[in-house]
Structure 1
Amino acid sequence: MSDPILIPRPEGLYCPQGDFFIDPSRPVARALITHGHADHARAGHGAVLATRQTLEIMAIRYGADFAGQRQAYEAPLRLGEVTVSFHPAGHVLGSAQIAVEAGGQRIVASGDYARVSNPSCAPFEPVPCDIFISEATFALPVFRHPDPAQEMEKLLASMRAAPERPHLIGAYALGKAQRVIMLAREAGYDAPIYIHGALQRLCDYHIEQGVPLGELRPATMDKAEAGGLREALVIAPPSAFASPWVQRFADPVIGFASGWMQIRARARQRGVELPLVISDHVDWEDLTRTVTEIDPAELWITHGREEALMRWAELEGRRARPLHLVGYEEEPE
């Protein structure tokens, strides 16, 4: 194989022929962004190319002046000597894989991706390529995520069993909160859902984009009102559970929606009574299935459990390398 058209640098993945970075961890002159989560989308770049929804999400999170210039991806385009195209990643609203092509070589940087059904975004699109760059967030054989509908039924069963206790569910503001709401709606829960103020703008944006979240009410009531709240589902970002906000609710059931809830020790450390294993990332089975399906000549592995995936690739006779990129911390997920 000829020299790759993407190379790892301290700022992130760099394309010399196009003079741009993909999901850089610090401000650069030109950045291509896969999705709006904070460890991939940062403010301060000279120019940003991303899907329209990702640009709008970044504006919501960072303000309208988050970059010097913004360009919404609409079709494959030339940047210098390379052709760039965006393809659905199935992770969160606006998420995309970025394919870079030149000299007969195609590299796909997948960002974060998922293979399970998610009505808030387009499903993952397998893209044939020479090099596939994959996350490894849950790249251990122990991570086999259950059906999200079953986890939602666990939540609704708990609400039926303890109707006198409000259920407070921790969920990341972009993607996971809306996913939990959608799963509740799909399961037939049509009562109002209360949301923490930190979720309001992103939930409003999902509704504007045609994602049917149903009736949402702000969870901004005072302590007296919150103390009398019963038979209620309340969604809040994980940070809210370490703030005085949570103390206004009387005897709540504390839940947390994350792929990490499969590790019971994490649930206990967080004081989570109702762990919900709901993830927006591929688990071990979907990750290895995706690599097998795409069948790249080489697999590059970014943040996560690199060792197990490297070993799997070796046993499968696949070329693989860890990138050890800096700045992709473990997401709250």
Structure 2
Amino acid sequence: MPEKVREDVCSLVLRNAHAFRGFFPRSCTTGGEDWVDWLELKPEGLFCVPGAFYIDPLQPVAHAVITHGHSDHARPGHELVTGTPETLAIMRLRMGEGRAGQAQQALAYGEVISIGDVQLWLAPAGHVLGSAQVVMEYRRQRAVVSGDYKRAPDPTCVPFEVVPCDLFVTEATFGLPVFRLPDPAHEIAKLLHDVRLFPERTHVVGCYALGKCQRLIALLREGGYHDPLWLHGALLPMCNLYESFGISLGELRSATAAKKGEMRGGIVLAPPSAIADRWARRLPDPVVCLASGWMHVRQRAKARGVELPVVISDHADWDALLETCQATGAKEIWVTHGREDALIYALGKMQIRGRALRLLGYEEEDEQAEQEVSA
């Protein structure tokens, strides 16, 4: 294709991103230098030099592009915050209007803006409501920062979309071959079987407030459980926000306000710290459960006193990480937020160049869950 025609096609796609959503041709991103040198790692976090913005910065900055609302990625004190409408709403709920950015810029998925010479848009990440990959075009190169993501279906958020790119920055929370996680439907069936088996007991399931709680509710509904669900008070505000964005969760009741006998035989959802707290001891003969990808490790379940592990993760497991990295067509993969070395080794076997970013400050799923309780 002649160079002028090639550039015109690229320009057309970028100006009409909504029409091309889900179809970002590889041919629009190749032709530049192999090595992306315009993203830098600074103490504040990952920095786009030509756009002068940070992605999920660890410290307050002038301009932050936020992938999703979990507190290890969305932090207070920035001057300008760019994110999806859902992520910005989550930040306002969790931080308050004054701390969720002095100014906020909402971007719908696929909506393109120019920041200096960089063209920026957000693509679905499938992690939680509003979660996004940050897609940047500069000098005929495309870089994609995934944030946290998963490939498994989730009725509470828009599914992950593969965006072909030259550089892909991926998380690696479950970046070890041992983490080949089971089908969530199987885990829900296991939980519901236990509920039927012990109708005199109350099943209390630990899950963090943003994402896991709502997905668990939706999976329970899909699994045929339509009784009221009892929720710890810390989980209700986020569920209300999800419903304000059109995510139906069925009948939810406050466990905090309920009488002890009302919850017998039911399912109670609570923050992970509450299931081992005296709060849970007020429940009728509780069966302690915890919903997390880390429950795949038996020692973790045992150490936390979990009677029934529910192995459901909102992150990509080992196979999904490899599949996604390969599907992007990226010549270069930067790995962060988890088990970097194993994934980089596996990518090398696939003839893909890898680099460990070793960003500090992004917690693992169960550690994040503990922070959500007090937030």
Q: Give yes or no for TM over 0.5.
A: yes
Cα distance in 2 for partners of 1:29, 1:85 equals 19
SS of equivalent to 2:102 = strand
The reply to whether residue 108 of structure 1 matches residue 144 of structure 2 is yes
* TM-aligned CA deviation for residue 5 of structure 1: 2.0
How much does 1:240 deviate?
1.4
| Contact in 2 for aligned 1:192/1:214 (Cα 8 Å) | yes
Shifted more, 229-238 versus 153-162: the winner is 229-238
| 1:324 correspondence with 2:352 | no
Q: How does 1:259-274 map to 2 (within 5 A)?
A: 259-274=293-308
Report the alpha carbon displacement of residue 2 of structure 1 after superposing the two structures with TM. 4.8
1:281 aligns with 2:315: yes
Distance 2:261 2:57 in 1: 44
1:10 Cα deviation after fit: 1.2
Partner of 2:169: 133
Q: What does residue 97 of structure 1 align with?
A: 133
Counterpart of 1:189 in 2: which secondary structure?
coil
Q: TM-score, normalised by structure 2?
A: 0.86
Contact 1:194 1:217 (8 Å CA) reproduced: yes
Q: Distance in 2 between matches of 1:312 and 1:102?
A: 28
1:53–1:93 Cα contact (<8 Å) kept: yes
State the Cα deviation string for residues 127-174 of structure 1 (Å, max 9, x = none).
010000000000111101111011000000000000000000000100
Shift, 1:229, TM fit: 2.9
Displacement of 1:8 in angstroms is 1.1
**2:164, 2:330 within 8 Å by CA — same for their partners in 1?**
yes
Q: State the aligned residue count.
A: 331
Please give the per-residue CA displacement for 1:247-305, whole angstroms capped at 9, x wherever unaligned.
21132000000000000000000100000000111000111011111120100001100
Label 1:101 to 1:246 Cα distance change in 2 as closer, same or farther (>3 A): same
Assess if the C-alpha contact under 8 Å between 1:14 and 1:22 holds in 2: yes
Q: Assess if the C-alpha contact under 8 Å between 1:51 and 1:95 holds in 2.
A: yes
Corresponding residue of 1:24: 57
Distance (Å, rounded) in 2 between the aligned partners of 1:260 and 1:78: 40
* Amino acid aligned to 1:120: T
Structure 1 SS opposite 2:150: coil
Q: Does 1:35 align with 2:68?
A: yes
Which of 203, 206, 214 is equivalent to 1:170? 206
Is the partner of 1:249 in helix, strand or coil? coil
C-alpha distance in 1 between matches for 2:230 and 2:128: 21
Match of 2:107 in 1: 73
Task: Work out the CA distance in 2 between the residues paired with 1:93 and 1:36.
Answer: 8
Is 1:299 matched up with 2:333? Answer: yes
Q: Does 1:120 align with 2:156?
A: yes
Aligned counterparts of 1:250 and 1:231: Cα–Cα separation in 2: 8
Corresponding position of 1:198: 234
Residue of structure 1 equivalent to 2:220: 184
Counting aligned pairs with the same residue, the percent is 52
How far has the Cα of 1:243 moved from its partner?
3.2
How far apart are the structure 2 equivalents of 1:72 and 1:52?
5
C-alpha contact (below 8 Å) 2:36/2:141 kept by paired residues: no
Residue 213, structure 1, aligned to residue 249, structure 2: yes
Gaps of 5+ in 2: 1-33, 370-375
Give, in whole Å, the separation in 2 of the partners of 1:2 and 1:189. Answer: 51
Gaps of 5+ in 1: none
Aligned 8 A contact 2:185 2:219 in 1? yes
Give 3-state SS (helix, strand or coil) of 2:104's partner: strand
**Cα separation, 1, equivalents of 2:325 and 2:137:** 19
What SS does structure 2 have at the residue aligned with 1:132?
A: strand
* Per-residue CA distance 1:91-110 (angstroms, 9 max, x = gap): 10000000111101111000
Aligned counterparts of 2:336 and 2:189: Cα–Cα separation in 1: 33
How far has the Cα of 1:228 moved from its partner? 5.7
Write the distance in 1 (CA, Å) between the matches of 2:190 and 2:151: 22
Bigger mean CA offset, 308-317 vs 167-176? 308-317
2:122 aligned residue: 86
CA distance in 1 between partners of 2:215 and 2:353 (Å): 35
Q: Which moved more, 1:32-41 or 1:234-243?
A: 234-243
CA distance in 1, matches of 2:36, 2:321: 26
Q: Please list every run of at least 4 consecutive aligned residues from structure 1 whose deviation after the TM superposition is greater than 4 angstroms.
A: none
Distance in 2, matches of 1:102 and 1:58, equals 29
Whether 2:280 is the aligned partner of 1:246: answer yes
AA matched with 1:48: V
Q: Choose 88-97 or 200-209, whichever is displaced more.
A: 200-209
With structure 1 as the length reference, what TM-score do the two structures score? 0.97
- 1:242 CA displacement: 4.0
